[in-house]
Amino acid sequence: MGPVSEPFGAARRRAGRLACAAVAGGALVAVLLAPQPAAAQSASELRSKVEGAQAKAEALASRLESQAADLEASRADAVAAAKREAALNTTLAEGQERARELEAEVADARSDLDSARAHLRRSQRILSDRLVEIYKHGTADPVGLLLESDGYDDLAVRSEYLQRIQDADSSLVDRTSDLRAQVSAELGRVSAARDEQLAHVAELTAARDEIAVVSAEATARANELVAARESQETQLAALDTQVGKWERGIQKAEQVSAAQAEEEVTELMDEYAIPTSIVMCESGGDYTAVNPSSGAGGAYQIMPSTWEAYGGKGLPQDAPPAEQDRIAALIWADVGASAWSCAA
């Protein structure tokens, strides 16, 4: 064993003792883990998969978050469409009631029109008959009738007769004219009522179409977003399950690696605190051996100065095997195999 030039402090010795309790220093651990490429690679691959799954989960979560606003907006549109639909249904009901009223008015107007037309036809026939009579016999001569009268009473009767004839003719003409105007006005009113009804029916049809389009679009959009959300939540759940499996696989792989490392440490060191091959080279495993040239002693061939630096009492070769093992483990934990020339 080569000399250790400087003593170690108390804090370093405490750290060495903790490392000794683990029975594996930095260099030894690296050597022991090197023969485990399959387990290390498996754990590394699983970690890579976990990282990929976590990135995908984060992307899905971000997408869900962004779609949440769209879903809320779509639901708001659906609510607004429902309110609009209710309002349009009310308008539709009112319009249908108005349409029924217009139909009744049209029916009444047609009935009145039929009556007016019949009256007009009667008046036209009377007027026609009167005109024919006048054409055949001519109009009564007022002067002749008056001159031919037999006294005052006959004259009064004749005058009243003439007046009645004139009044009847004027009344017939006026009545015919009024009926014609009434028929014309009634036709206009019926036509206007019909036009109003047709316009109202068109408005109701447009409103019904608007209800169908808005409701269909809002419902379809909401259903699409809900389906997408459910699909993404299913993917997230599947990723979570898969990540759990991979993490358990990592733990198992690491546990297997640790168990294998511990087993190899046990096999490598056997009953000594450092690898058996080094002990055999240094002293042949003799706890009382002394190197006459360097003064190193014990199974681990520890220099007296180093022995003292690590808290050893007396000389190494005189100490019990357990004490030699303890101090050798502290040295190994601090500097590893480099403290022994046989390890070179």
Burial class (CB in 10 A: 0-12, 13-18, 19+), 287: buried
Higher pLDDT, 152 or 8: 152
Q: How many CB atoms lie within 10 A of CB 330?
A: 26
Res. 219: pLDDT tops 60: yes
The length of the chain is 344
Q: What is the pTM of this model?
A: 0.37
Which structural domains are found in the chain, ordered by start?
Answer: 10-46+253-343 (1.10.530.10), 55-247 (1.10.287)
Res. 232: pLDDT tops 90: no
Which of 90-99, 122-131, 193-202, 216-225 comes out lowest in average pLDDT?
A: 122-131
Res. 4: pLDDT tops 60: no
Res. 286: pLDDT tops 50: yes
Specify the pLDDT at position 255: 67
| Tokens, residue 92 | 């539709």
Which of 28-37, 165-174, 232-241, 271-280 comes out lowest in average pLDDT?
A: 28-37
Asked if 203 contacts 95 with a C-beta cutoff of 8 angstroms, the reply is: yes
Higher pLDDT, 344 or 12: 344
Could you tell me how far CA 65 lies from the centroid of its own chain? 7
CA 228-233-234 angle, to 5 degrees, is: 100
Q: How far apart are CA 251 and CA 42, in angstroms?
A: 11
pLDDT tens sequence across 316-343: 999 999 999 999 999 999 999 999 999 8
Higher pLDDT, 2 or 212: 212
pLDDT tens sequence across 107-164: 887 887 788 778 768 877 876 776 676 667 655 566 666 667 677 787 787 778 778 8
Higher pLDDT, 90 or 135: 90
Res. 3: pLDDT tops 70: no
Residue with token string 């064993």: 1
